[in-house]
Each structure stands twice: as C-alpha cells, then as structure tokens.
Structure 1
C-alpha cells in the first residue's frame, strides 16, 4: 500500500511553450478559428510537408476540385498523422493505438465540421466541440462546448440558455495553439470573457450577448442587456461557450446557442473550390498541431497512481479560474485506487473525470467515469472517498476503469478556493474487502 500527495505545480502555459502547435496561415486560432483567408498566407508558414500539395493547389482551386486531386491530396495529407497515435506515445499498446486511430478519425470529423462547414465568420453558426462520440483533448461529460468562427471586424448577437446550469463561460479568443521561443503563451490569447457572475440572465435561463468593437453603435438596440458585451479586437477569430451541468440529462438536452452577424445582410454564397481547399488545409494542420500538442502535454504525466497540481492561468483554456489536478491511474484487475480528501471551502462546481491516453472519456452514457460535487456521497464529517476500480466494489463513489489497464485522471476545481489535500492509496482485494466492513 502506498500513499502519495499531490506534486508541485506545472502550468499549461509552460507545457504549451515546449510544444510545436499549429501553423495556420492566417495566424488564427488552431482550435476554433474560421479559415476565410487562409489561402493567401498559408504558403508562408512552416506547414507540414504532407500538406504542401494542398497549399500548391490554391493556385488553381477549380482545377484541383474538378480533377479530384483536391480530395486525393487531402487524404495524402492525413496519412502521416497516424504517427502521432501509433508512435512512442502509444507505449506499444494495441488498445491505446486502436483508440488513437479512432481519435484520429474523430479529429477529421471535427476539423471538417469546424473549418469547412462552420468556417465562415461572415455567416457564423455554432457547432459541438465535444459530444458523447466527439472528444477533444480532455473532454468533461458535465459540460457542453459550443464553438463558432468570428472575425474582429464584425458585430454579432448571440442567444443562449443556461437553465439548470452549474455555470457558464464565454471566451473570445485570438491566435492558435502554436509555440516558439518568442511566444511562451502558445500563441492563443483570451481577448475578452464573461461568466455567470457577470452575465445578466433571465429567470428562464436565457441570455443575449453582443460581440463587437463598441457596446454602443448602430446595433445598440439589438435587445442584449447592458453588460452582456464582449469587445472584439482585430485578430479575434473564435468564440467558445462552455456550460457546466450537475445532471447528465440537462447536459444532453442543452439547446444549441444561436448567433447572427448584424453587419452582414446577404445570405451565404454557394460553396466554392477555394473554400473546400481552405477547409482541407486547416483540417489537416489542426489535427497535426493538436496531436503534437497533446503528446507533449501527455508527456508530463506522473508515474503510476500519482497526481500533480496543474493550475490553469486562465488565458489558454478557460476564462474563469479553473484549477486542475492531473495524473495517471494504472491498476491490475484486482486493484483499486482510493482518493481521500475533504473539500474544505469548495466552489459551486468541481468534478473528477477519467480519460484514455488521448484525452477522451470512456463512454460516459453507460459507465461512471465522471463524478461531480453534487453526485458524490460524503462521510458525516464531509470527507470523500472515491474508489477507482475495474469492477463495482460495492462501495460509494465508484469510478469505472472501463476495461482499460491505465487511464488519465483529472480534477476540475472551478473556483479560487484552495485545492484540497488529496491522499491516494493503491489497494488490493483484501484492502477493498476491509473497507466494506
């Protein structure tokens, strides 16, 4: 039996500084950007070699599409990406590699959805970044993640709903997940943000937000309450709404936000060859950069059944202060990992989440892989014990390894109060039996 305490902090900003992220030509967000002008500058970036044939086709998009070579070049650009999920980071484990290939296919779907189907900031529409079958670099089943492409010159109105939510965060971003010695932030920048403490929300949970250069202007009568405003800057390119729920049913039925651009009247034009090529280029580079970033991120995980404190500085991931405790869980079939702590002065929402080695939760629709603060059973003195095991141990607060010998574990602590002291113990069958007495 071993007992470990959380280790010293490592920030996500430091992780990003050591990684090689995306090189989207526009300099826009690698994760949530539009790609309306990618063609004009993409050749000047350090694009992966496999993507360059697509870039060269931008000289004559019509010919590339009519000949079918656009699709061939796109498929060729995807082929080398398998190295990210079958290389050393997969530990030579067939299960990890299998889930890695599935992860790759999911990222293809996500990239096309973002950059081709929803890549026009003049005619924006929200899309799902995370679902039960689409998971991107550390999903939380208690949250909906809705993204949209915007641009710094626009004026937008958003209508959304947070009924029954534990919290809502709206982040306006610029830049991308790229990193070099000159930019330790990873290139992504939080331009402006709102959360439930600053938003004016109606009794039914509905709210409107205006996004633009100035809160007072030609569209100041659009119905948004004073204060529900996000200020654009020239390089702003993406907006993300994160909504937290304690109940899975509310999360699954959460309505999609609506957005309209107030300074554009004409409808969206038919898709053209250049738009298709831009979407292909951005998708291939998005996948390459995302998996490269993740593999650097994953490399700092601790040893077996240990935890590290890794607070988020706010600019990279979330608008409000979310503190993280991360680690790896590796268990034999007859072992369990016990987490024991007292939450102390706890925030309104926090949760523990299990994920595979690619940052994807096992199927949370029928397995207990996430537990939040309203679901957990507590002892009379407020102490909490979580049991992570391969099978239901007949104890409260079980989290399911879901057939995996190893998983990642993450605590999201959504608030500024101090993280709890967390003790971990690895126990065998006899240790579990003793807990049932």
Structure 2
C-alpha cells in the first residue's frame, strides 16, 4: 500500500509539471529567447518549490528567493532577496549587521503578488547600533524599539538588499529566528508527507499560474506597447520604490531609446529586462540591467538603448533573442518621480541619439560582463 501511495503522489507531480508546460505554451508564438529558456525556468520552479516543501515557520530558514534560474515576478537584478516562510502563530526576531548597499528593507507579507498586503520597514528608520548591528521584532505584542505588528495571515518574510554600485557596496548579514520554545519536530509519517506534498503541488500551480498567466495578462498585457505609464507603487513591493513597467515590442530594424532624469536625492535608480513570463533575462551573463553605478550620466540624465543587436553603446540593454517583453524602471524616492521618455527608432538612427565616438570595443564589453558574473558569484554566496 505504501508504494501505491508514493506512486500516486509522484504521478500528481509529473501531471502538474506537464500542465505547467502547456500553460506557458498556451499563448504560442514564442521568440527564440523565450523558447530557449523555458525548460530551465520549469526546472528552477521545481527547485524553488522543493525549498518551500521543506520549510517550517517554527524554524525559519532564509533562502535566496530570486536566484537563477527561478526568478518569476519582475524582480530587480540589483536586489538580493532573502525570504523565509513564517506564520501568524509565532513571533520572530530578525537580526544581524547592515551592509553598505544603497537600500535595505524588510517586509512581512500576507497573500501573493499584487493582491497581497505587507508591513514594510526601511533600515533607515530603525534604531541601529553604532557597529551596524540591529534587531527587529515582528510579533503580536509590542516589545523593543524596533517592533512591528505581525499581521493575521502573515505567511512570508523578505529582506531586500539593493545595490546601487556593485563594485563598492557590500551586503549585510541577516538572520531570522522564531521566538519562544517551538515544539520539537515530529518524525515524518507517510500520511503527513503525502499531504504536505499535495499541498505543495497546489501552491506550485497557483504561483506558476499567477506569474506566467494571470499577472502578465491582467497587468502587463494591458499596457500600451513602447509607452511609459506614470510611476506606481505595488502593495507588496519593497518600501520607497516606484515602478514604471514598459511593455516593449520591436521590429527587426527597430530599437528603443529610454531617457530619464535622476530624481533629486534618489539613492537608487535601475532598469532591467524581463521576458514574457515576468522572469529576468540572463542577469548573470548579459547586460540586461543597468543601475546608476553602471550607467553613463550626463547632467543628471541617463539615455539607454534597448536593442536586439550590440551597437557598442555603453548604456545598452541586451534584448538579443527577444521580440518583446517588459522593461521595468525603478527609483527609490519619497515622492512620485517623472516617468522615463520612450522613443522607438530605426537602427539606422542610433548615431543621432548616441555619440559614435563613445562606443565600447568587444574587449571592453567582455570585461564589463566578466565583472558582472564575478559580482553575482560573490553576491549569491551564503
């Protein structure tokens, strides 16, 4: 009987992942980039759900929640996302040392995606010791100076560390623990394991469907092409961040010019490419994102070229292999900033917008990409 139960549970796993593949293929007409990365995205989703299957709110463990190849959700390549599963039956202590990154924020979340709610905390608003150490309590009863209420239904904690300059900034050391004395862990039983496995499959379907179908169709699919909308603040985004999602679509001999003015006093501005399923594109090996530390800036102004060929422009977003997707501009600022200006041009017009004398050689581009890979290799170490 035991083997029959295990085989049945595994058939459910196989059936689900076949279903998810078909869901991703439902819209058809995949460009080369989307088709080439889909299988790795599916495996990454399985890896991520495997981590969640083994998580325990009474013994929370931080994981890198947006590590390649799993990174649905229009994530930010400049941000290290550390996440842990929690619940509203426990109180939690978050502690450690703040790094030198541009911005560190913490959040406790209820629900998923753009329908969730959150308690958000900026590191700048905390009482922090002179040596950079800190302690935050997310709990049901007030305690300490850095206390924040744990909302009913809370199910996840996230720490965001956003780099403004990859070469000069360093991440902090962040930990989470459950307060009190959690009960000892019970030995596993087949009944409990298969029940948890089934619940994990349901959560897997819901998460995948939300990011691959529902939000692209409801939010990003409704955007006009190659137009910047006014900056917005989604409810579950990190504190202080404004977003401008730009749905782009280009013909073979077209490119996109994106101009923006750096908001006064903003500690962070960045822009990145995501594919049709809201996943970041090859962030560790290609220049698919740019922050202020990586951009050429003239009088507080940044001009970026999004194109499917490399024309040697320093401020280039590498869209090779894709016909369209979403490019997301982010800025941290207390008030709503002005949106970027987006212009579709022919590739024969690039020299009118970008000085031909300021082009990178292949060796210079390769050096920039090597630095990029080294940064992610260091960032993703525990």
* Counterpart pick for 1:306 among 223, 227, 231: 227
Q: Does the C-alpha gap of structure 1 residues 160 and 402 become closer, same or farther in structure 2, counting only changes over 3 Å?
A: farther
Q: Which residue number corresponds to residue 294 of structure 2?
A: 375
Shift of 1:65: 7.5
Q: Which residue number corresponds to residue 290 of structure 1?
A: 207
Q: Which residue number corresponds to residue 371 of structure 2?
A: none
- Distance of 2:172 and 2:69 partners within structure 1: 18
- Distance of 1:386 and 1:411 partners within structure 2: 11
- Distance of 1:383 and 1:102 partners within structure 2: 37
**Length-normalised TM-score, structure 2:** 0.81
Q: Which residue number corresponds to residue 117 of structure 1?
A: 54
Deviations 1:76-126 (A, max 9, x none): 2332222220002x4354642443343222212111211x121x1112211
**Length-normalised TM-score, structure 1:** 0.72
Shift of 1:284: 2.3
Please tell me whether residue 169 in structure 1 is matched to residue 105 in structure 2.
Answer: yes
Instruction: Check whether the contact 1:127–1:146 (CA below 8 A) recurs between aligned residues.
Output: yes
Instruction: Check whether the contact 2:228–2:339 (CA below 8 A) recurs between aligned residues.
Output: no
Q: Which residue number corresponds to residue 189 of structure 1?
A: 117
Instruction: Check whether the contact 1:160–1:256 (CA below 8 A) recurs between aligned residues.
Output: yes
Q: In the comparison of the two structures, how many residue pairs are matched?
A: 351
- Distance of 1:65 and 1:205 partners within structure 2: 55
**Relative contact order, higher structure (CA 8 A, sep 6+):** 1
Please tell me whether residue 69 in structure 1 is matched to residue 8 in structure 2.
Answer: yes
Larger deviation: 157-166 or 64-73?
A: 64-73
**Structure 2: 5+ residue stretches without partners:** 357-382
Q: Does the C-alpha gap of structure 1 residues 398 and 133 become closer, same or farther in structure 2, counting only changes over 3 Å?
A: same
* Counterpart pick for 2:243 among 324, 329, 334: 324
Q: Does the C-alpha gap of structure 1 residues 313 and 66 become closer, same or farther in structure 2, counting only changes over 3 Å?
A: closer
Paired residue secondary structure (2:155): strand
Please tell me whether residue 340 in structure 1 is matched to residue 340 in structure 2.
Answer: no
- Distance of 1:203 and 1:391 partners within structure 2: 49
Q: Which residue number corresponds to residue 40 of structure 2?
A: 102
Q: Which residue number corresponds to residue 242 of structure 1?
A: 160
Paired residue secondary structure (1:257): strand
Deviations 1:9-55 (A, max 9, x none): xxxxxxxxxxxxxxxxxxxxxxxxxxxxxxxxxxxxxxxxxxxxxxx
What's the Cα RMSD here? 2.8
Q: Which residue number corresponds to residue 83 of structure 1?
A: 22
Larger deviation: 147-156 or 324-333?
A: 324-333
- Distance of 1:402 and 1:161 partners within structure 2: 39
Larger deviation: 332-341 or 121-130?
A: 332-341
- Distance of 1:329 and 1:163 partners within structure 2: 35
Deviations 1:350-405 (A, max 9, x none): 211111111122222222111113332222x3222111123332333111114323
